[in-house]
Amino acid sequence: MKLRRVLLDLARIVADQAERDPVFAQQIAQALGSKEQATGAPETAHAQAKAERPKNRRPAAVLDPIAVAREGEAVLRTRLAALTLEQLKDVVADYGMDPGKLVMKWKDATRVSDRIVELAIARAQKGDAFRSD
């Protein structure tokens, strides 16, 4: 238990010093292999997600179906129609639209697209009862 306390104190001291001294913060970031910019600000979330995506994961989705669903079902269906089956599966995987692990086995792009529309509209409208018009 004493070792835990010592390590926590050490981490707190290093973090406090890094907040006060940008040069020290940069040296810590380099030592840890962090991809922080010279200003100390981390890269954008999109760049980090693209660079750090594990090889066993599907590529990132090419569109946000929930944001598009807010524009309307017809718009969403049009945008999804332009995607390949693999791109549709990327959307399903990226937005967690297959909890039962069935959609990823489907071979029909229309069927996958219908599932995306169904869930995206439900998620886009979630909470509407509590919003004022």
- Tell me the pLDDT tens digit for each residue of 50-61: 556 777 788 889
Predicted confidence at residue 2, as pLDDT, reads 87
Enumerate helices (H) and strands (E) in the chain, giving the number of each: 7, 0
Of 46, 60, 90, nearest in space to 116 by CA: 90
- Tell me the pLDDT tens digit for each residue of 67-114: 999 999 999 999 999 999 999 999 999 999 998 889 999 999 999 999
Whether residue 71 sits in one domain with residue 24: no
Distance of alpha carbon 67 from alpha carbon 36, whole angstroms: 29
Domain count of the chain?
2
Q: Is the residue at 56 inside a domain?
A: no
Whether residue 113 sits in one domain with residue 70: yes
Q: Is the residue at 97 inside a domain?
A: yes
Q: Is the residue at 123 inside a domain?
A: yes
Collect all residues with Cβ–Cβ distance below 8 Å to 97 and sequence separation of at least 6. Answer: 91, 103, 115, 116, 119, 120
Place of tokens 């390590």: 7
Predicted confidence at residue 21, as pLDDT, reads 86
Whether residue 39 sits in one domain with residue 74: no
